[in-house]
Structures are given as structure tokens and as C-alpha cells.
Amino acid sequence: MATSTRERILATCLALFNAEGLATVSTHKIAAELGISPGNLHYHFKTKEQIVTVLFARFEHKLQALGSGTQRIAAVDDFWLALHLHYETIAESRFIYRDMAHLAREYPELGRRTQALTAGNLLSAQALVAQLMAAGVLQASHEQARILALQIVFTTTCWLSFEGFIPGRDGRDADPGLAAFYTLTLVSPYISGESRAYLDYLKSKYLG
């Protein structure tokens, strides 16, 4: 089945925004990259903001779908996989978190939705930590659990920005699996003895 022009536009914009940054990509550049006229682009999306809004909505939907699966997580390997999928989703639309300040400044409504998304991520992280505590995987106080959830959201939100400041890297080759492992190290002091085997396996895989 042939890809529609609208979907080609969205896929091209996602690649351009991820590679070059939201601020530097104009509608003329998008049209040139696609090999279509600016008028044809305008027919499908009247403004760049409309394109960004659709891409943002898809990102929202993916993160919300991942958050809704929290109740099925009851082991350390489940936890790592959930984090891995979360980081993969962020990497697929990396411009959103990486260019968050610009996005909020240029498109205030999307800035507000970013805040709401972050609040939702925090609720999902709190539910995740609570689920792991109920399963006996984590042993932590209420206050420790609250801080762990906050640290998880902070780490996932800032991940790609941090990667961009590492010499020789720009975030494009960031490894979601490694990021998931590093996030697990935040909770490692609270992982129960019988659940540590998988964490030790990940340590040998990523740290040799």
C-alpha cells in the first residue's frame, strides 16, 4: 500500500526535527526535502505548528500506552523492558524532549501539554514503583518510593539532552538499553536480594 503524502510529510519532518532541531527546520526546507512545492505542503499542513502538533500527539499516545501497562510489571526484567521501551519511544521523537524549551516558547499550548505529559509520567512512575514494592521486588519506605519515581522521570526526561553534551556524541546513537540499565541503578539499593540476579546480568552486559 502506497504511503500517503500526509504520512510522508510527517515521517520526513520527524527525521528532520530529530536530526537538525525543531528551530532550524523551515517549511521550505521540508518541502525541498520531500521534493514537493511549498503550496503542496501547505495543502496538507497550513503551518509548521500543525505538523509538530500531530507528531506530539503521537508521542503522547505512545507514552500513555506504555504507562497504562504498569500493572503487568512484577519483576526486575519486566522493569528493565518497560524502561527500555520508554527510552526507545523518546529516541524515536527525540526532538520533543531535546528541544523542549523552544517548543514551549514557540507553541505555548504544546508547552502546557508537555507539562501535563510530565505529570502523567510521574503518576505512572509512582504506580510502577508501588507495583514493584507490592511484588516484593523493591523494599523502600514511602518517602524513598516517592523520590525514586521522581528520579526516574527526571532521568528519562533529561536523557537525550545529557547525551548531547558527552564529547563525541550527539544523542543520535544513544542506547535505550544502556539508559534503562543506568536508570535501574537508581533503584538498585532497594532491590530485594532474590531479585538482584537480573541486575547483575545487566551489569555484566553493559559494564563488562
Q: Are residues 126 and 187 in the same domain?
A: yes
> How large a percentage of the chain has pLDDT more than 70?
95
Domain containing 126 — which CATH number?
A: 1.10.357.10
55 neighbors 10 (Cβ within 8 angstroms):
yes
The pLDDT of residue 205: 82
Give pLDDT, residue 96. 94
- Percent of residues, the chain, with pLDDT higher than 90: 58
Residue 31 and residue 90 share a domain: no
Average pLDDT, the chain: 89
171 and 125 both lie in a single domain: yes
The pLDDT value recorded for residue 170 is 61
**Is 134 within the bounds of a domain?**
yes
Residue 138 clears pLDDT 60, i.e. is over it: yes
64 plus 154 within the same structural domain: yes
Looking at the fold, whether 105 and 156 belong to one and the same domain comes out as: yes
pLDDT of residue 122: 92
Asked if 97 and 168 sit in the same domain, the reply is yes
Alpha-carbon gap, residue 154 to 149, rounded angstroms: 9
Domain range for 175: 54-207
User: 208 or 115: which carries more pLDDT confidence?
Assistant: 115
**Gap between the Cα atoms of 92 and 3, Å rounded:** 19
Domain count, the chain: 2
pLDDT tens digits, residue range 17-63? 999 999 999 999 999 999 999 999 999 999 999 999 999 999 999 98
Q: pTM of this prediction?
A: 0.89
Residues 34 and 64 in one domain: no
Q: Which of 167, 26, 29 is nearest to 106 (CA)?
A: 26
Domain assignment present for 49: no
Q: What is the mean pLDDT of residues 70-85?
A: 84
- DSSP annotation of 191 reads B
40 with 62, same domain?
Answer: no
For residue 68, pLDDT beyond 90:
no
21 forms beta bridges with none
Q: Distance between CA atoms of 121 and 59, rounded to whole angstroms? A: 13
- Are 92 and 31 part of one and the same domain? no
d(CA 180, CA 86): 9
Tally DSSP H helices, then E strands, for the chain. 11, 0
Query: Residue 136 pLDDT more than 50?
Result: yes
Q: For residue 72, what are the CA distances in angstroms to 67, 106, 196, 206?
A: 10, 38, 19, 26
pLDDT in tens, 148-199: 999 999 999 998 888 877 776 666 678 888 888 889 889 889 998 878 888 8
pLDDT at 25: 97
pLDDT score recorded for residue 48:
97
